[in-house]
Structure 1
């Protein structure tokens, strides 16, 4: 039998081995501002990552949780396809500074790849598509860890809904960062939108009420990615911001991206995919949960009860340093002040369109669905709370 002294020694060795977590940091990575232990505590993985297919990290969106976004959707279907799944609960329902949440994803990427001994795949919904991109852009060591990046209904270039929410006094820090004019998104989308030697797929719906795909071009599109609207695969298919998580076509596109080299390819799906409604492996109870508990909680916490701020969080020093280094030197004055320049209009600044009609033609209002109706209710509650 082991002596008491041996037990103590073994315990000390275990504490050393399992103590403060160490996250690999490449030469180009900035230091983490979070305690890695907090991110590890928020990471949920099976005992082993030994399934033959690539393990998948699922990243939830604004105002949500692992339970509300994934337990009744992809955390249920991916294992049926042979993938081990890890999930991460972003701090305070992903309502805090997205730069902080992105560091949670950095820790998760390194931890998963280290445990699996191979590359991982990352799937993010809504804001959950931004944190992995932030990690891949600003923490370049993560690029060698990821095989496929897939976003679902992500606010890659901002959401008109976020613009509206933040006009009513204060809003959550991460909602500020998802405005179409935010400094966060300007920094994220400057230069290469899809860095690294990995495959990028962006899947979205033209009838999304929370992330309106206002052309031109759609906000979820990424330069260098395979951009796929559900309606391009199945014309007229209805899918909103939450139903896309249980939609059979969206699920087929995600699986196609993860199970083949390169991004998703709709041509591999076949016409029969449009006959499906609910993703295989899910049922009516899962759908009901997503459209009651998950939907209501996301809007309530995002607009009414979550943390609020009157300004967008400042960019991290590593971003500011990069921006300063890239800024052109001012030209010397010669004979007087230069004429003010007129920047070329951005295509995203053109008159927004909703389902083929200008906002002016719809009276300035996008068509309302279940999610948008809840948004209107939440905004009304927020005004009442402030009065």
Structure 2
């Protein structure tokens, strides 16, 4: 049986929801994201993209490029609600759905195409059903694997529908830049350029053994993708890989006490989210972005899992103290990974009394909101 994977990607999702819900925004440049001086763009409508605005751009730059834009903080709750309706639509086409974010998902539709004249008509039906159900536009790609399906969905945005038929991948990939491949960042791209490789076709024909010498472990993956091969399955239930939170400050912060207070606030939020989702983790990572935009991440792996705020905070402080801070800090983040489900364990000998305390605190937060109770240090 021919394998078919479909990738559904909602076009400018957050901005499109705003334009749908507020008709006066239709056809206007809508930019959704953090509205503070350090905010970044989450999504820009296609009208805004004509001015060079794109996701992850500093909001200040977006305002400079598109001063006539309509800037919105957005509503994550609303976007989640719409996303759930989209996933329900997709579930009518396949039981194997792998959401990647609120606005995109993979479907394994192998065998389902037999219910339609061809795979193109199946993909077209998905687009139409989404438009009828939620009033939004999706770009859809279909191919024999996840890499090619996602690539196909990007080729004719917005409102695209592209099928890469079996045996046709190399022709599609031939002249594309290697940066289109998953795993090719700035450092790998530089190595490939030094080897005379600028297109995916050149990479596909390059000697694999020599590629391994220069690129290491990622070489085999890149070579396979360049030849249109991707063996990853569509995974319907994917547990979270990490739980984290980061914060960009309105002004650069200095001073150990102030910065550690921010770490404590982050640790509280991460611990709460871990306990709510029933996970604990062993690896704690601190992310620091300085005034110059230099960004570092440092990690520490504990001997046992935890989801307690204090353990996360103390470990984050230990990591923070080992770093040299020679300039102001514009962003801090804490992430816990190496997750496991079930009851939390910690590096320290946590008593039943402490577990009971967290249980009480979590019930209060669930009932009255996350801000109802916090550490005394954060109220100073």
User: Does the pair score TM above 0.5?
Assistant: no
Q: Which structure would you say has the larger Rg?
A: 2
TM-score by length of 2: 0.23
Q: Which has the higher strand share?
A: 2
Higher relative contact order (CA closer than 8 Å, sequence separation 6+): 1
